[in-house]
Amino acid sequence: MKKLLLLLVCFAHFLISCSSPSGGSKETESLKTENISSHSHTHNYVEEAHSYAQPNAAVIKHLDLDILVDFEQKIISGQASYKIESFESNVIILDSKFLEIEKVLADGKAAKFKMGSPDKLLGQSLNIDIEKSTKEISIFYKTSAESEALQWLNPMQTADKKHPFLLTQGQAILTRTWIPIQDSPQIRITYNAKVKVPKDLMAVMSAENPKSKTSNGIYEFKMRQSISPYLIALAVGDIEYKSISPRTGVYAEKSMLEKVHFEFSDMEKMVVAAENLYGDYVWDQFDVIVLPPSFPFGGMENPRLTFATPTVIAGDKSLTSLIAHELAHSWSGNLVTNATWNDFWLNEGFTVYFEMRIMEALYGKDRADMLALIARQDLEEEIEGFKESPEDTKLKLDLNERNPDDGMTSIAYDKGYLFLRTLEETVGREKLDLFLKNYFKEHAFSTMHTERFVDYLNKNLLEKHGISFNTEEWIYQAGLPSNQAIISSDKFTLVENFIDQIVKTSKIDKSASKSWTSQEWVHFVKNLPSEIGSKQMAMIDQAFDLSNSKNSYIAMVWYEQSILKNYHGNKVDAKIEEFLIEVGRRWYVSTIFKALKKSGQRGKAIEIYKKARPNYHSVTANTIDEILNFKPKE
Ligand SMILES: [Zn+2]
């Protein structure tokens, strides 16, 4: 593992921005770079801790993938060919993990290659000998049972229960477990893929996608805009497509398709709102695929095709801020990408801010502020949870020798959001919007790291308008600065009054909650105070039947409270177990497992976890292993 985090100065920095190291689609800028000196390329990449690649010596530019998806053996095999650019190097280094490399060609001829020693986190380097003139390398390989990106689901784990399903999750450093690749977020490549799957299934990728099944199970894909390797994604299953507008639509299993289509029917409106805020949607198509419930995240912003959990299908469109979030990543994350995982907040903080603005544009300030306040509470809980390691509450992280997934906390998301919201209040919305619009435009198809962002912010917003702001404190210090934006919601105040009433009178006036949204319910449940014991929990459950809520978010927070308040009525324990076994969304299940542990029920948690773990993606299993200190091999 590399420990050095070196920021190399861009040779061309004084002449132009060095923002577009591989910037295939940002043609004007990369052309300019080439005119200056081909050597300027070699100084463009930041040394980073989570990839063996040395892109300053030789870098991949385009991938042609030709693979077979074998559901019987649960293996992907085939060939990954790269167009490369090398800078007088005689070796190109890729990342691989749990892959079996059969042979390698360089410009069509057998090439020598060597695997580095395996690291538990990073996998192995794949060092391929090349000539100075080599233009293309081809790697023949196979995945293995350990490939962490891949989740092979049996028919019973799907909605329709008839066919198996495969999904991939690349972020943060898992793409290397199904494709040998330079797996660093600052690499950008275009790709074409040919994927062969069983005839009764459809394959879709983060690329131009089919809208119906082919007769022979062969699918061809094209991604013509350059993306980071963690955004390469594949899903294979018995799915169908239904369009919402010419550029938006949904994929889902048959039994889910109509529900999903209704739930996400505002997608086109969301794209329009987003474009009005920060510029054109450049990825042509914005589709969403709803996956089986074991998908580890709420959503994953794979370009052109967001992957989403079915837990947001509430039947009333109340949890669709998730779609606004993934859409916002089309700018923050996919277009302007964090250079290293230490800069993850640049992806997520900006995306949460953008998400809230889309939600405000579509559904009004009330809804957006409720979402922001829920995020605010999550943030406070997260900071409290990091009491022993305040370093982890900084926006700019140091994840060297750690799993980048450790940085996927509420800090990057919600502290990042609060930073931008506070900035908005300080400089005014109009100025911030113009700044952000230019930020996305000027850095499109390139990567950004924290220090460069701070520079850019100072020059283009703060100094420009003579405004002082404690940017460094927000980004480089632990905890929350005192100048944070105050967010308030009258609706939440009413919810809090309602709770007070219950505490004082031990009575429930059901009419007060009649028109509550999901957000108000969540706020209600999350803020039940310690005075509320199992008796009052039973009364609340009797009034609202929350143990049987069909809204997964409300159910999740209710289960958490039930555990913490030692409530066991209305068969809630059985419900919790069922939920933990069926749903694999990391945030949901980790919240519940943490509550079990906190309330001294680790034994019970382990008992359930043993049943649930086979359904979880590696990303979720790793997190729960850690929470419960569970050793799977013992
Ligand atoms: Zn996100």
- The lowest-confidence range among 14-18, 401-405, 416-420, 519-523 is 14-18
Does the domain at 336-476 match CATH 3.20.20.105? Answer given as no
Q: Summarize the confidence of residues 503-531 as an average pLDDT.
A: 95
In tens, the pLDDT along 450-505 reads: 999 999 999 999 999 999 999 999 999 999 999 999 999 999 999 999 999 999 99
Would you say 399 and 341 are in contact if contact means Cβ atoms under 8 Å apart?
yes
Nearest to 374 by CA among 388, 359, 387: 359
Q: What residues does CATH 3.30.2010.30 cover in the chain?
A: 238-330
What spacing in Å lies between the alpha carbon of 215 and ligand 1's midpoint?
Answer: 36
Class of domain 490-628: mainly alpha
Q: What is the pLDDT of residue 218?
A: 98
In tens, the pLDDT along 33-58 reads: 333 333 334 458 988 999 999 999 99
What spacing in Å lies between the alpha carbon of 34 and ligand 1's midpoint?
Answer: 34
Q: What residues does CATH 1.10.390.10 cover in the chain?
A: 336-476
What spacing in Å lies between the alpha carbon of 345 and ligand 1's midpoint?
Answer: 10
Q: What is the pLDDT of residue 43?
A: 54
Coil vs helix vs strand at 508: coil
- DSSP per-residue letters across 570-605: TTHHHHHHHHHHH---HHHHHHHHHHHHHTT-HHHH
Reported pTM: 0.93
Does the domain at 238-330 match CATH 3.40.50.1100? Answer given as no
What spacing in Å lies between the alpha carbon of 95 and ligand 1's midpoint?
Answer: 24
Residue 480: phi and psi, rounded to 5, are: -115, 130
- Which residues does the annotation mark as catalytic? 326, 413
Q: What residues does CATH 2.60.40.1730 cover in the chain?
A: 58-231
Largest CA distance in the chain: 82
Looking at the predicted structure, is the pLDDT value of residue 425 above 80? yes
What spacing in Å lies between the alpha carbon of 377 and ligand 1's midpoint?
Answer: 18
Higher pLDDT, 25 or 354: 354
- Per-residue pLDDT band at 633 (split at 50, 70, 90): confident
CA atoms within 13 A on the CB side of 97: 21
What spacing in Å lies between the alpha carbon of 235 and ligand 1's midpoint?
Answer: 19
Q: What residues does CATH 1.25.40.320 cover in the chain?
A: 490-628
What spacing in Å lies between the alpha carbon of 501 and ligand 1's midpoint?
Answer: 37
Looking at the predicted structure, is the pLDDT value of residue 596 above 50? yes
- Per-residue pLDDT band at 393 (split at 50, 70, 90): very high
Q: What is the pLDDT of residue 634?
A: 52
What spacing in Å lies between the alpha carbon of 589 and ligand 1's midpoint?
Answer: 18
In tens, the pLDDT along 170-183 reads: 999 999 999 999 99
Q: What is the pLDDT of residue 632?
A: 84
In tens, the pLDDT along 60-108 reads: 999 999 999 999 999 999 999 999 999 999 999 999 999 999 999 999 9
Class of domain 58-231: mainly beta
